[in-house]
Chains A and B, each alone.
Chain A
Amino acid sequence: MRNIFLFIRRYITFISFVLLQILALSMLFRYNKYHRAVFFGKANEITGYVNSQYDNVDDYFHLKEENLRIHKMNDSLLNLLPGNFIKVDTGSHVITDTVAYDTLHMVRKYLAKEAKVVSNSINSQKNYFQINRGSKQGIKDNMAVINSDGSVVGQIVGVSENFSQAMSLLHVQSTVSAMMKKSRNNGRLEWDGQSPLYLTLRNIPKSDSVLRGDTVLTGINSYNYPPGWMIGTVSDIVDDKSTNFYVLRVKPSANFQNLQQVFVIENLQREEQVTLDKTTQKKVDELNKRKQ
């Protein structure tokens, strides 16, 4: 008995080495067979906590790429919105030589392209911003620009090869067709050139019951803007006694100070609409002349 104790005392290091090796190896080889929950119960909580703390910091370094990825994703989804398509009567077509419409006879009317704002102003009376897409990427005048959250921010007014200039809603000459979401009454959205925090909506009749906080959307009287996109909310109602129309102060939902990723939306049938408008005008003028 004494000899055994002596033996253990003498070889304590070697014995503990062997025992620890056996423990480690049994962990290693048993782990593959048994489910991980047994081994990784409490310890996983701790490493999980440390890992999530590290991840919190690490996330900041990937925000920019992540942002771009989401923006691209949104771009692809935006083009799938049913509002981008209109129905045409195929019966009236004699020849169909394109594949512009799908099997449900839907024709694409609005096409979105993603872009990034490279310069922006809000402090002048006539505010413009520049985006990093130009004629080479298919940007044309009069296309609508909406923010990454879907709120309207302006329209393209100048195009170069690789960049284009957009007129912000914060421009004294900007006029946008807008409508109240509740009543679908159409009005005219302008900017008085004073505070970049508020826009002015005119021509909403007093028969409409407007409340503070009502949503204002883009209206249907526009060739540039697709209807139904968010503009802002009513923040103040000025009851002008001299007319039958409200003057509404609208708080834009887009934050014009930090525009970054935007979408440019093209109305693919704009030319047709504008031409039709002009010819109608001409015809009416001719009719008037003939009457006189």
Chain B
Amino acid sequence: MNSLLRNIIRFIFFILLQVYILDNVPALHKFIIPVIYFLFILWLPFSISRFWLLVIGFFTGLSYDYFTVTPGLHAAACVLIAYFRPFIVNILIPKDTSEFNYSEPSAKAMGWAPYSVYVFALSLLHHGYLLLLEWLEVGNFLDFLIKVVSTTAISMLLIFTAEILFPRRLKYRTNTAY
């Protein structure tokens, strides 16, 4: 499948999954909030330029914001992780590109340990920033800290579950001609 088409479908899927399934899960506890929609940004191809990554991040967050009626909240968090994504990827993947042949970040492409770090760092950034903005309006500091930890843990759990349950068939980017 075309990469563009696949990402458009993925985008719609993640937004609908988040809005209609995860947001409708009966609340187990006030600290347990399942959030997975930003995995769309984590799964975008490596080849995408930094500028477009920011724009896509902004609109991903904004479309989710329209459903939750919090304009700009998730957009800000998504722009933040879209900005930091290339730095973290650069740190984690081998510099020698001839060894590195996958088109998208995944456990298979990066190895489990670097991928976990990648997911953890971006989840923490996303939730940290998101909850910070929420906390600025209302809230108490201890709740904020616990929420950051618990939502990050739950997001990572969901992302690894998704990674194990639905292995993506990744296009192998060879260094020979296509």
**A-side interface residues toward B, CB under 8 Å?**
12-14, 16-17, 20-21, 23-29, 31-32, 36, 39-40, 43-44, 46-47, 50-51, 54
B139 on the interface (CB 8 Å rule)? no
B54 and A20 contacting across the interface, CB-CB below 8 Å: yes
Complex CA distance for A17 and B133, rounded to whole angstroms: 17
B51 and A13 contacting across the interface, CB-CB below 8 Å: yes
Within the complex, which residue of A14, A21, A46, A47 is in contact with B76, where a contact is CB–CB below 8 Å? A21
Contacts A26-B72, A31-B72, A39-B71 known; A47 to B66 CB distance under 8 Å? yes
B83 and A28 contacting across the interface, CB-CB below 8 Å: no
Within the complex, which residue of A14, A17, A24, A44 is in contact with B66, where a contact is CB–CB below 8 Å? A44
Return 11 A-B CB contacts under 8 Å, by A number. Answer: A16-B55, A17-B79, A20-B79, A23-B58, A23-B72, A25-B72, A27-B71, A28-B72, A50-B67, A51-B67, A54-B20
B70 and A24 contacting across the interface, CB-CB below 8 Å: no
> B59's closest neighbor in chain A, by CB?
A20
**In the complex, which residues of chain B have a beta carbon less than 8 angstroms from the beta carbon of A27?**
71-72, 75
Complex CA distance for A28 and B75, rounded to whole angstroms: 9
**In the complex, which residues of chain B have a beta carbon less than 8 angstroms from the beta carbon of A23?**
58, 72, 75
B109 on the interface (CB 8 Å rule)? no
**In the complex, which residues of chain A have a beta carbon less than 8 angstroms from the beta carbon of B58?**
20, 23-24
Complex CA distance for A261 and B16, rounded to whole angstroms: 37
**In the complex, which residues of chain A have a beta carbon less than 8 angstroms from the beta carbon of B51?**
12-13, 16
A28 and B66 contacting across the interface, CB-CB below 8 Å: no
**In the complex, which residues of chain A have a beta carbon less than 8 angstroms from the beta carbon of B72?**
23-29, 31
- Contacts A24-B72, A32-B137 known; list 16 others, CB within 8 Å: A13-B54, A14-B83, A16-B54, A20-B55, A21-B76, A24-B62, A24-B79, A26-B72, A27-B71, A28-B70, A28-B71, A28-B73, A31-B70, A31-B72, A47-B67, A51-B67
Complex CA distance for A13 and B48, rounded to whole angstroms: 13
Complex CA distance for A39 and B71, rounded to whole angstroms: 8
**In the complex, which residues of chain B have a beta carbon less than 8 angstroms from the beta carbon of A47?**
66-67
| Closest Cβ–Cβ distance, residue B90 to chain A (whole Å) | 13
Contacts A39-B71, A47-B66 known; A25 to B76 CB distance under 8 Å? yes
| Closest Cβ–Cβ distance, residue B84 to chain A (whole Å) | 9
Digitize B121-151: 1 where CB-to-A-CB distance is under 8 Å, 0 elsewhere.
0000000000001000100000000000000
**In the complex, which residues of chain A have a beta carbon less than 8 angstroms from the beta carbon of B83?**
13-14, 17
B108 on the interface (CB 8 Å rule)? no
Tell which of B51, B54, B67, B73 has the most Cβ of chain A within 10 Å. Answer: B54
Within the complex, which residue of A12, A24, A29, A40 is in contact with B75, where a contact is CB–CB below 8 Å? A24
A21 and B66 contacting across the interface, CB-CB below 8 Å: no
Q: Which residues 43-72 of B sit at the A interface, judged by CB distance below 8 A? A: 50-51, 54-55, 57-58, 61-62, 66-67, 69-72
> B83's closest neighbor in chain A, by CB?
A17
**In the complex, which residues of chain B have a beta carbon less than 8 angstroms from the beta carbon of A44?**
66
Complex CA distance for A177 and B135, rounded to whole angstroms: 71
B50 and A21 contacting across the interface, CB-CB below 8 Å: no
**In the complex, which residues of chain A have a beta carbon less than 8 angstroms from the beta carbon of B73?**
24, 28
B154 on the interface (CB 8 Å rule)? no
| Closest Cβ–Cβ distance, residue A206 to chain B (whole Å) | 64
B80 on the interface (CB 8 Å rule)? yes
**In the complex, which residues of chain A have a beta carbon less than 8 angstroms from the beta carbon of B55?**
16, 20
Complex CA distance for A40 and B16, rounded to whole angstroms: 19
> B70's closest neighbor in chain A, by CB?
A28
**In the complex, which residues of chain B have a beta carbon less than 8 angstroms from the beta carbon of A50?**
16, 67
Contacts A20-B54, A20-B58, A28-B73 known; A43 to B80 CB distance under 8 Å? no
Complex CA distance for A23 and B73, rounded to whole angstroms: 11
**In the complex, which residues of chain A have a beta carbon less than 8 angstroms from the beta carbon of B61?**
24
**In the complex, which residues of chain B have a beta carbon less than 8 angstroms from the beta carbon of A20?**
54-55, 57-58, 75, 79
> A25's closest neighbor in chain B, by CB?
B76
Complex CA distance for A23 and B76, rounded to whole angstroms: 8
> A12's closest neighbor in chain B, by CB?
B51
| Closest Cβ–Cβ distance, residue B52 to chain A (whole Å) | 10
B71 and A31 contacting across the interface, CB-CB below 8 Å: yes
| Closest Cβ–Cβ distance, residue B119 to chain A (whole Å) | 21
Within the complex, which residue of B16, B70, B80, B137 is in contact with A21, where a contact is CB–CB below 8 Å? B80
